[in-house]
Structure 1
Amino acid sequence: MSLFIGLMSGTSADGMDAALVECLPHQPARLIHAIGLDYEPAFSNQLRELAITAQASVEELALLDRAIAKISVQAVNQLLAEAGKQPADICAIGSHGHTLRHKALRQQKLEEGFSWQVGDPSWIAEHSGICCIADFRRRDIAAGGQGAPLVPAFHQECLSDSASPRMVLNIGGIANLTVLGEQLAGFDCGPGNALMDEWCQLQWQQPQDFNGERAATGAVIPALLEQWQQQGEIHTYLQQPPPKSTGRELFNLDHLAINTGNHHEGHYHPEDVLATLSQLTANTIADAVRRFGHADGDILVCGGGVHNPDLMQRIRAALPGHTIDSSAVAGIDPDWMEAMAFAWLAYRTLNQLPGNAPKVTGAQGFRILGGIYPA
């Protein structure tokens, strides 16, 4: 058998992606079918709040672990039904789970690094009838790595056949950049959609700025943009060389002191603040490319940000020497890249092959990732 399922619940906390992928030796992974399940708004809000505040009881966390697992099984069942497959047709599920907190290594203090994902893999295996592979990040961390990002190894496997310099930019809740080549590099380069989405939820009770329409009507506020880019911890992170990874604990509105209350941003038009947040995302991406990426060549974009024309226009304007397109031009649907990656990582684990890229994560060497939970 060669079919694997990848499950991904990303930093945006808006839903669960499931991808059915064919993985064969010495061949690129091939997408067979994919679906996305949207979370209920209250559940999304709960996940987003926990990612920032980390305030929850043990019982609440245990129930959340189960809730993500149940949604995972629902996604698997729907995917199988639409693809006309049975559990017996699938080798394994690669479940990323949902990240509640990612705290990367700092100053080589091994004991400080951890990454915590919920989504009980025993429940997934039991109720899907399919072997589940999960907990991909902690072995890399145990080996001295960041535990993230893991997807650059998949990018290298599937997208490194270009004759010209090539990079992959994933714009999810957090943006991460993969620099393909003999010296593979990859790292979280700053906020993706997270800050813009949070502002839309706060101002208009909308999950996101659909098609970037609201930001396109706003005007960037230069003083505010400069203030955010120079904010202490954020500035330190942006200037830090790879390997590096981050999450919502750093990039959130409270950290930027944005609020609808008595903060000084209150007199700005909401659309102008949104446009400034969009420009912040574009600037941090462009700065990462200029400092650590190829000087020219192609940038393939995946993740939800590829569907935001305002953001894409800002990135293109900031990087005029690069050709910036959806990863679809290279044959991979931008909406399913990460779910495909975790199907591929499950294939690697089941075949006793390493799944990390030490030069990306900073681990002491290649490691087989994840725990195997038989059906």
Structure 2
Amino acid sequence: MRVIGLMSGTSYDAVDAAAAELQLVDGVLTLRPLGMVSTSYGGGLRAALTAALPPAAVPLAEVCRLDTGIGRAFAAAAVRADRELCGGRGGLVASHGQTVFHWVEGGRTHGTLQLGQPAWIAEATGLPVVADFRCRDVAAGGQGAPLVSLVDLLWLRGRPGRPVALNIGGIANLTAPDGTAFDTGPGCALLDAAVREFSGGRLAYDADGALAARGTVDQRLLDRLLAEPYYRRPAPKTTGKELFHHGYLRAAGLFDGVRPEDALATLTLLTARTVADAVTSVGATEVIASGGGVRNPVLTGLLRELLARTAVRTSDELGLPAAAKEAYAFAVLGFLTAHGLPGTDPRSTGARRPSVLGSLTPGRDGFRLPPPAADAPERLVVDAAARREPCVPGSGG
């Protein structure tokens, strides 16, 4: 089955569409990457999304407009992926949507909201769509995140030592081989928020870490930021921009006379420190990293320095492009749903039971999905030899 995975993460810089040929035989799920296309949100839509995210309060009319605009943007990305990567022969679209709120109180997730109405995708492509993945895990008592942990567990099974999958997006998360999985804290979220403030909105992120590289870490500010209680909470746990946003930085005094370069150097080390502490806490012997954060050489350099005794490599070395790994993961989750198979591991999310994820929107010909699979996959194998080069990657933050 050819599945198109759609993803826009907590940096909301682009819609990534990754296409994969997926086949399940004798407990082995084989993924043949067909490539990735990435399309930036239009300036008006991205500005509206930025204005609507926590801690902002928005009217329902704006939520409706965003749901429609994001749905259309995802639909355009899916059409392009089907045409350019699948030759017009895609079988299913798996859409993560755009997270706009993750409701966490007292260490428990009560709800989650992803916008991007899947009906626009089904109408534009003619394909059935699996969407709204996170809610079922939350309803089963889980955190709803990190939702790609089952894919990571299948993918890294059999590697020597104790490999850990790490994704550095707006929020960073990891998965350990015993099923432990959690958000470590901010990936690029605070960095991006600071860059936008210091540049008056001209810049969306610190390209190549160039600004941070010119700064000096402010130790008092770093200590203040590291005092955040979230870092000491036990797993499973999840967080998001509901906590780590522009207002959080203002309350911490980041904009009170701190040089922009020093502030960014401090925030870059904050991300590296909290990620490294999390990696160390699970006894990792190897880190397989992905996400937009791996394109920041200052951040990855600090991470390698802090994890000097632990190998740190990118997912590209294992056949999945770092920029597209989460989109491919949602293609896998969509495939599992289409075959009636659970897409979660309760050890990772804290749910009471594994769940078949998402809601189905029929394609032009209705629900022409395969019969339920008899057995769940035991491992995931990436057939890297079949991978095409990604097409027109997004800007990234």
Query: TM-score by structure 2 length?
Result: 0.87
User: Which residue of structure 2 aligns with residue 100 of structure 1?
Assistant: 100
Q: CA offset at residue 55 of structure 1?
A: 1.4
**2:70 is aligned with 1:68:** yes
Q: Is residue 105–residue 146 contact of structure 1 (8 Å, CA) maintained in 2?
A: no
User: Which deviations, in whole Å up to 9, do the C-alpha atoms of 1:229-262 show, x marking residues without a partner?
Assistant: 11xxxx2211011111110011113113269xxx
Q: Deviations over 1:276-307 (max 9, x none)?
A: 0001101111111222x12x421011000111
Q: In structure 1, what is the equivalent of residue 277 of structure 2? A: 287
- 1:193 counterpart (158, 179, 188): 188
Q: Does residue 1:241 correspond to 2:234, yes or no? A: yes
Q: CA deviation at 1:161?
A: 2.7
Question: Aligned partner of 1:3: which letter?
Answer: R
- What's the counterpart of residue 44 of structure 1? 46
In structure 1, what residue type is equivalent to 2:274?
T
Task: Answer yes or no: is 1:130 the counterpart of 2:132.
Answer: no
AA at the equivalent of 2:160: A
Q: Secondary structure at the match of 1:255?
A: helix
Q: Secondary structure at the match of 2:239?
A: coil
Q: CA deviation at 1:54?
A: 4.0
Paired with 1:170 and 1:107, the residues of 2 have a C-alpha distance of 21
* Match in the other structure for 2:91: 91
Asked if the contact 2:34–2:86 (Cα under 8 Å) also holds between the matched residues in 1, the reply is no
User: Structure 2: how far apart are the matches of 1:8 and 1:129?
Assistant: 19
Q: Match of 1:207? A: 204
Letter in 2 for 1:81: R
Aligned partners of 1:150 and 1:357 also within 8 Å = no
Equivalents in 2 of 1:191, 1:45: separation in Å? 21
Counterparts of 2:71 and 2:335, CA distance in 1: 20
The answer to whether the 8 A contact 2:15-2:38 is kept is yes
**Residues 158, 192 of structure 1: alpha-carbon distance in 2 compared, 3 angstrom cutoff:** same
Q: Report the equivalent of 1:255.
A: 248
Sequence identity (%): 37
Q: Which of residues 155, 173, 189 is equivalent to 2:152?
A: 155
Query: What SS does the aligned partner of 1:27 have?
Result: strand
User: Which structure carries more relative contact order (alpha carbon 8 Å, separation 6+)?
Assistant: 2
For 2:142 and 2:213, locate their aligned partners in 1 and report how far apart those are by CA, in whole Å: 39
Work out the CA distance in 1 between the residues paired with 2:224 and 2:47.
Answer: 27
Partners of 2:186 and 2:47 lie apart in 1 by 18
Greater alpha carbon shift after TM alignment, 269-278 vs 323-332: 323-332
Amino acid across the alignment from 1:173: G
Q: Which amino acid aligns with 2:303?
A: I
- What residue number does 1:228 align with? 225
1:156 CA drift (Å): 1.4
Q: CA RMSD in A?
A: 1.6
User: Match for 1:272 among 262, 283, 286?
Assistant: 262
Residue ranges of structure 1 left out of the alignment (5+ in a row):
none
SS at match of 2:316: helix
Is the Cα–Cα contact under 8 Å of residues 171 and 304 in structure 1 kept in the other structure? yes
**Matched pairs, number:** 358
Give the 3 Å change call, closer, same or farther, for CA 368–264 of structure 1 in structure 2: closer
Per the TM alignment, residue 137 of structure 1 is displaced from its structure 2 partner at its CA by 0.8
Asked if residue 10 in structure 1 is aligned to residue 5 in structure 2, the reply is no
Structure 2 gap segments, 5+ residues each: 364-397
Q: How far did 1:208 drift?
A: 0.9
The alpha-carbon deviation at position 160 of structure 1 amounts to: 2.1
Q: 3-state SS of the aligned residue for 1:254?
A: helix
Q: Tell me how far 1:50 sits from its aligned partner.
A: 2.1
Closer, same or farther: CA 160–318 of 1 in aligned 2, 3 Å: same
Q: Structure 1 residues 98-107 or 29-38, which shifts more? A: 98-107
CA distance in 2, matches of 1:63, 1:193: 27
Determine the C-alpha separation between the residues in 1 that align with 2:29 and 2:332.
Answer: 11
Q: What one-letter code is carried by the residue in structure 2 that aligns with 1:282?
A: A
Q: Distance in 1 between matches of 2:238 and 2:218?
A: 28
Deviations 1:83-105 (A, max 9, x none): 2521xx22211100000101236
- Tell me if structure 2 keeps the 8 A contact 1:132–1:372: yes
Q: How does 1:344-359 map to 2 (within 5 A)?
A: 344-359=332-347
Structure-2 separation of matches of 1:169 and 1:84: 28
Distance 1:264 1:77, change over 3 A: closer
Asked if the contact 1:90/1:130 (under 8 Å) is kept, the reply is yes
Secondary structure of 1:164's aligned partner:
coil
Measured against aligned partners, the alpha-carbon deviations of 1:31-77 in whole angstroms (never above 9, x if no partner) come to 11211101233432332332222411111111110111111111011
After superposition, residues 310-329 of structure 1 pair within 5 angstroms as 310-329=298-317
Structure 1 pair 131/163, CA: closer, same or farther in 2 (3 Å)? same
User: Alignment partner of 1:24: what SS?
Assistant: strand
Q: Distance in 1 between matches of 2:107 and 2:152?
A: 28
